[in-house]
Amino acid sequence: MIALLQRVRRSAVWVEGEEIARIGRGLNILLGAFKGDGEEEVETLVRKIRTLRIFSDEEDKMNLDITQVGGEALVISQFTLAGNLRRGRRPSFDSAMPPEEARRLYELFCERLEESIPVQQGRFGAMMEVEILNDGPVTFILDTREL
């Protein structure tokens, strides 16, 4: 699995002009799944995200995790993160997990993360408009194939 984490001051998502989710300080998480991913990858990402010290302390140093700052998460399904751009000009999505399997992992990821912090969700498979007020900017990519 792959997650793009953006530390945000706020983030929101709209579907068909209707706001469906909004958070304040925390993380906007774009989440993608590869063929072969499973619960182990979900647990690895959740454990890492819960404990990453990427929020600033009173000395403006990245020393605090999301729970220590009372942060929230907005999780957006993002199958294009599993795209391959190595050849040609059009992305290949051959390694992306099929939608129904990916939905199960997406929902499991949100459920597990919500055991530690408040979680809002985008709408799986929908065309979404996402507003992100990036804080820093601070952005990280977590790929379970590399963890």
Task: Indicate if 79 belongs to the active site.
Answer: yes
What is the pTM for the complete model shown?
0.96
Q: What is the pLDDT of residue 6?
A: 98
Q: Is 119 exposed, middle or buried (0-12, 13-18, 19+ CB in 10 A)?
A: buried
pLDDT digits (tens, 9 = 90+) for 56-85: 999 999 999 999 999 999 999 999 999 999
Task: Indicate if 44 belongs to the active site.
Answer: no
Which domains are delineated in the chain?
2-138 (3.50.80.10)
Task: Indicate if 51 belongs to the active site.
Answer: no
Rounded to whole angstroms, the Cα distance separating 113 from 117 reads 6
pLDDT band, residue 89 (cuts 50/70/90): very high
pLDDT digits (tens, 9 = 90+) for 11-22: 999 999 999 999
Q: What are the CB-based long-range contacts (under 8 Å, 24+) for 15-23? A: 15/122, 15/123, 15/126, 15/127, 15/128, 15/129, 20/122, 20/123, 21/74, 21/120, 21/121, 21/122, 22/74, 22/120, 23/72, 23/73, 23/74, 23/118, 23/120
Q: Which of 79, 120, 124, 144 is catalytic?
A: 79
Q: Which residues are 139's β-sheet partners? A: 6
